[in-house]
């Protein structure tokens, strides 16, 4: 097996100087949260984690998925009729009443700006037919996003469990969900709105909801986010920020209980500042790679060209990060080979872990030289041409 290896000088220098991996200077320390993650929103790469894969209840941060599923599956101008079950939800409430009708869009603002639990259930029943049906949609979307350690039972994040598990997620999974949410312009519009006023469709009640996401005014470039608290989850937060060409997502779970409401803000700012101060944009990999021809054994030695559809990547890196590229292709292959056939892989490694993969494919076909092929060549070259 041929193995082409490309080491960048920075990699070699880092190995010579350090010898071992050490904790980066300025890395967040003494976080209150039991679980925390900082993610590069552009690539999905985890820049920092503290117990990032630990499954924990997440309270009302659930509602980012509630809104995402709603935006992807329903018309926001739709009419929602409130059920007795939705009206029975505990605080925090909009205090909607059974039988009342609302515009779905208005309930979405209620859901995200003031985190109303009754609005969440009314939305879920409208979009999914029932809370259970909507939870199935949420769980399917989680699987689609690769969130395999997330389980939704409720649309509002109240502590819940059933025979399949506990309403919970991980900091890593919640960051993945937020990354998808950030790609939806309507999600950003709703969650960034300072306040929203509306009436029920009969015009008998008036409401104004105000944005309770204090992080939007805490850091320059704050984009969106959602708070959460239950007795089981503690204080939670997921938020996003864009500054200096960097788009960052921070998640904190189980970040204290009363009277420690501010700890989530302290931890979130530590994580965001770490991303802003310690990381810079750098291009890794290449847009084109020249490969030697691949030998083919087809009764006589021949060769075919190979191609790798590689791309360079612009990512966030910090001092001490290392990049390596491997090209793995065989020494030779038996015929026949056909154009487009995958025969190898280009692998990008970041800090020794696989970051990206690209296929190496055959650019020309090469048939097997056997009796049938030889006979065909004889007939094509030596049989006389009949002219009529």
Give the residue numbers annotated as catalytic, written as ranges.
Answer: 60, 63, 115
**In whole angstroms, what is the distance from residue 43 CA to residue 31 CA?**
25
Write out the two tokens for 280: 């810079």
Buried b (16+ CB within 10 A) or exposed e, 331-364: eebebebeeebebbebebbbeeeebbebebbbeb
> How many other C-beta atoms can be found within 10 angstroms of the C-beta atom of residue 290?
8
Specify which residues 151 forms β-bridges with. Answer: 168
What residues does 280 pair with on adjacent strands?
317
DSSP reduced 3-state for 187: helix
> In angstroms, how far is CA 9 from the centroid of its own chain?
31
- For residue 266, the tally of other CB atoms under 10 A from its CB is 17
Residue 89: other Cβ atoms inside 10 A = 21
Query: In this structure, how many other beta carbons lie within 10 angstroms of the beta carbon of residue 318?
Result: 18
Taking every pair of Cα atoms in the chain, the longest distance, rounded to a whole number of angstroms, is 100
CA-CA distance, 348 to 326, in Å (whole number)?
Answer: 7
In sequence order, the 6+-apart residues with CB closer than 8 A to the CB of 226 are 60, 61, 63, 64, 112, 115, 191, 213, 237, 238, 239
* C-beta separation of 227 from 237 below 8 A: yes
- The Cβ of residue 108 has, within 10 Å, a number of other Cβ atoms equal to 25
Q: Are 130 and 165 in contact (CB under 8 A)?
A: no
The residues with which 167 forms a beta bridge, in sequence order, are: none
């Amino acid at each position: 097996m041929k193995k082409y290896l490309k080491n960048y000088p920075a990699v070699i220098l880092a190995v010579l100087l350090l010898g071992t991996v050490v904790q980066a200077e300025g890395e967040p320390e003494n976080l209150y949260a039991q679980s925390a993650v900082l993610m590069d929103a552009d690539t999905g790469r985890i820049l920092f984690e503290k117990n990032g894969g630990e499954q924990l209840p997440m309270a009302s941060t659930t509602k980012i998925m509630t809104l995402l599923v709603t935006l992807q599956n329903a018309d926001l101008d739709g009419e929602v009729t409130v059920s007795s079950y939705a009206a029975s939800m505990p605080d925090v409430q909009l205090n909607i009443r059974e039988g009342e009708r609302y515009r779905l869009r208005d309930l979405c603002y209620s859901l995200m700006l003031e985190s109303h639990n009754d609005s969440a259930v009314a939305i879920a029943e409208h979009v999914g037919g029932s809370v259970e049906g909507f939870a199935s949609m949420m769980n399917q979307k989680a699987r689609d996003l690769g969130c395999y350690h997330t389980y939704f039972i409720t649309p509002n994040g109240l502590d819940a469990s059933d025979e399949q598990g506990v309403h919970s997620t991980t900091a890593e999974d919640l960051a993945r969900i937020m990354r998808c949410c950030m790609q939806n312009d309507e999600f950003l519009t709703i969650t960034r709105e300072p306040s929203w006023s509306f009436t029920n469709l009969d015009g008998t009640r008036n409401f104004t909801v105000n944005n309770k996401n204090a992080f939007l005014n805490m850091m320059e470039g704050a984009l969106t986010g959602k708070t959460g608290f239950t007795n089981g989850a503690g204080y939670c937060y997921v938020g996003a920020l864009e500054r200096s060409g960097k788009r960052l997502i921070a998640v904190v779970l189980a970040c204290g209980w009363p009277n420690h409401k501010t700890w989530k803000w302290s931890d979130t700012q530590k994580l965001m500042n770490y991303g802003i101060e310690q990381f810079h944009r750098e291009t890794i990999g290449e847009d084109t790679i020249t490969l030697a021809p691949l030998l083919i054994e087809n009764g006589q030695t021949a060769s075919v060209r190979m191609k790798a559809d590689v791309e360079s990547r612009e990512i966030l890196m910090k001092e001490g990060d290392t990049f390596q590229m491997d090209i793995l292709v065989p020494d030779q292959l038996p015929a026949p080979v056909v154009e487009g056939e995958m025969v190898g892989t280009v692998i990008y490694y970041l800090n020794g872990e696989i970051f990206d993969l690209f296929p190496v494919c055959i650019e020309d076909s090469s048939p097997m030289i056997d009796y049938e092929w030889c006979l065909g060549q004889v007939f094509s070259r030596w049989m006389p041409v009949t002219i009529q």
